Amino acid sequence: MPFFCIEASVCTLIRGADAELNRHVVLTDTRAVQATLRTLSLMVLATAIALLIGWAYAYLSERLVRRGRWLWRLIPIAAISLPLFIHAAAWEATLGKFGWLPLSGVTARGSFFAGLVASSWIHGIAGAAWVALIVGAFLRRGPLPGEEAARLDAGPLRAALRVTLPGTYLLTLASGLWVALIAATEISVVDLYGFRTLADEVYFQYALSPQPIPILLAMLLPIVLCIGIVLLWLLGRHQILRPLGGATGRTQPSVVDNGLATEVFGLAGLAWLATLMILLPLVSLGIKAGWTVQAVDGELQSGWSVAQASATLTQAATMFRTEYYWTAMLAATAIAMTLPVSLVLAWLGRYRLGFVAIGCLVLLFIPGPVISMGIMRLFSQSGIAWLGELYDRSLIPAGLAVMHRSVPLCSLILIGSFYATDRRVDEAARIDGAGWCQRLRYIEMPRIVWPLAICGFVTAVVALGEVSATELVMPPGVSTVARRVFGLLHSGVRYQESGLCLIASSLVIAAVLFFHVCRSTMGRR
């Protein structure tokens, strides 16, 4: 009798375990489907905001405004250079739970700036700079066929809708897919607002106990969008390449005189869009750094103090010096690991451009948590002792995590530099018997010193802002600026967060201005 009881108990436990397993699989599938829908909604809204603001900025800066055009072209570059966590902190300081607009009574203290709304707005504003840069670079080459006649006959607005927008639709769609890819693979914004996308689910739920369905879905969406970008390129490469270069390209300047009223309208529109993209967020960080609340006659009154702002910046500069040190070390490690690999890939791209470009595009948009999971398993669970030591005592795993973004970007920059140089010297050296290593060292390297410096800056910016891929592979006791801000932002933006972000923003913008001045000086020579 006891035997049958034991057998019945075992059978009951087995059936219960099977039921629990099936329930877990169903819950996993349901959670993955919900995360997929949230990811798609974020991608659609962020892309719509980015296209609307970015395309308008590109058209105004390249068609309606002539004064200060160098400054308007520099603003999207500065906005792109700022890490995404700074954009998130800046808008949280503006409209978040401790934002200065709600605290001062300008806006209601509601919860509208949260979840999908906040995530879409931040990704859209950050992505608008990409759209403005890509479309603006295309419009910079000169007027499209029939565009000037349309502007003379119908005015700039109708010409923009009837001629310019259809003429730039391929690059507009490609830049929109780019923004959608960033929104689908980043977690620094959605995790702040608890909006669980696929990438955030992988980081939050499945990093230590991986489930195949969410990971596959998190990788499938970026790959599908990458395929879309490649198809757009294949369909429209002749329309894009023909005007972008060559003797028959569009290089003539516009001869249409916009008039004073149009110029003023363009300047006002650009000022408003630039305020949204970069000025208002940075000003909000400065306001939060000096925000004060005092009790006067039993009532709380808020204000701004220069002394408080100075104290906040001084405290942020001294209290978090360890974070600055580790951020600099991570940037140096990433630069040392990225530049040689990018240089070799760019050299190969001269002969296998399609293969290298597609590989870079796919690698660029694999979600960061998936990359960090692979690195974590390679170093900590491979059973190789020296890999475990590297995982616990070095920044090499974190540098590898940064490389999944920095290597594709730097490779594409260097490929463009290689294609811009005269290849006849390289062909002559190859005919004379010089190997690829000699040609790279003695012919190409002196030509690409400036692009290599730009690649170093790009890698440092990526290392400064990377959170999704490095969060799980940082060694114990190591905290970078991005990691510290990422942790502090969940409780709102106050003095420490605003000071950290202001210092990081100042360094990045100073570097952008330095590169711009150096390039202008070299161009005049």
pLDDT in tens, 101-143: 877 766 655 567 888 898 999 999 999 999 999 999 888 887 7
Q: Contact 291/302 with Cβ under 8 angstroms?
A: yes
Give, to the nearest 10 degrees, the angle between helix 321-349 and helix 481-488.
Answer: 120
Token match 């398993």: residue? 377
Distance CA 146, CA 250 (A): 12
Distance of CA 203 to the CA centre of its chain: 18
Encode pLDDT of 14-25 as tens digits.
344 444 434 444
The two three-digit tokens of residue 101, written as one number? 């607009």
Residue 334 has pLDDT above 80, yes or no: yes
Angle among Cα 213, 214, 215 to the nearest 5 degrees reads: 90
Distance CA 360, CA 412 (A): 8
Distance CA 452, CA 413 (A): 9
Q: Which of 10-24, 88-102, 245-259, 304-318 has the lowest mean pLDDT?
A: 10-24
Give Cβ neighbours of residue 191 (< 8 Å, ≥ 6 apart): 200, 203, 204, 486
pLDDT score at 272: 93
Reference 310, options 318, 301, 302; nearest CA is 318
Q: Contact 159/103 with Cβ under 8 angstroms?
A: no
Distance CA 130, CA 58 (A): 10
Distance CA 292, CA 310 (A): 13
- One-letter amino acid identity for 370? V
Q: Which of 192-196, 261-265, 419-423 has the lowest mean pLDDT?
A: 419-423
Of 524 and 267, more confident: 267
Give Cβ neighbours of residue 194 (< 8 Å, ≥ 6 apart): 114, 115
Beta bridge partners of 292: 303
Does pTM top 0.75 for this prediction?
yes
Distance CA 339, CA 351 (A): 19
What domains appear along the chain, each with residue ranges and CATH number?
A: 1-289 (1.10.3720.10), 301-525 (1.10.3720.10)
pLDDT interval class at 92 (50, 70, 90): confident
On the 0-12 / 13-18 / 19+ scale of CB atoms within 10 A, 399 is buried
Reference 391, options 407, 367, 371, 375; nearest CA is 375
Reference 381, options 392, 393, 368; nearest CA is 392
Encode pLDDT of 219-273 as tens digits.
666 677 667 666 766 665 555 544 444 434 445 555 556 677 888 888 999 999 9
Q: Contact 409/361 with Cβ under 8 angstroms?
A: no
pLDDT score at 56: 93
Q: Which of 302-306, 310-314, 330-334 has the lowest mean pLDDT?
A: 302-306
**Exposed e or buried b for every residue in 265-298, given b needs 16+ CB within 10 A?**
bbbebbebbbebbbebbbebbbbbbbbeeeeeee
Backbone angles phi, psi at 256, to 5 degrees: -80, 130
Backbone angles phi, psi at 257, to 5 degrees: -85, 115
Beta bridge partners of 303: 292
The alpha carbons of the chain give a radius of gyration, in whole angstroms, of 26
Reference 176, options 220, 216, 123; nearest CA is 123
**Exposed e or buried b for every residue in 225-252, given b needs 16+ CB within 10 A?**
bbebbbebbeeeeeebeebbeeeeebee
The two three-digit tokens of residue 169, written as one number? 């639709």
Could you give the percent of the chain with pLDDT greater than 70? 78
Distinct helix (H) and strand (E) counts, the chain: 24, 2
Token match 């003379």: residue? 152
DSSP SS3 for 155: coil
- Per the prediction, the chain carries an average pLDDT of 78
On the 0-12 / 13-18 / 19+ scale of CB atoms within 10 A, 44 is middle
Distance CA 210, CA 215 (A): 8
Widest CA span in the chain: 101
- Torsion of the alpha carbons at 253, 262, 139 and 130, rounded to the nearest 10: 150
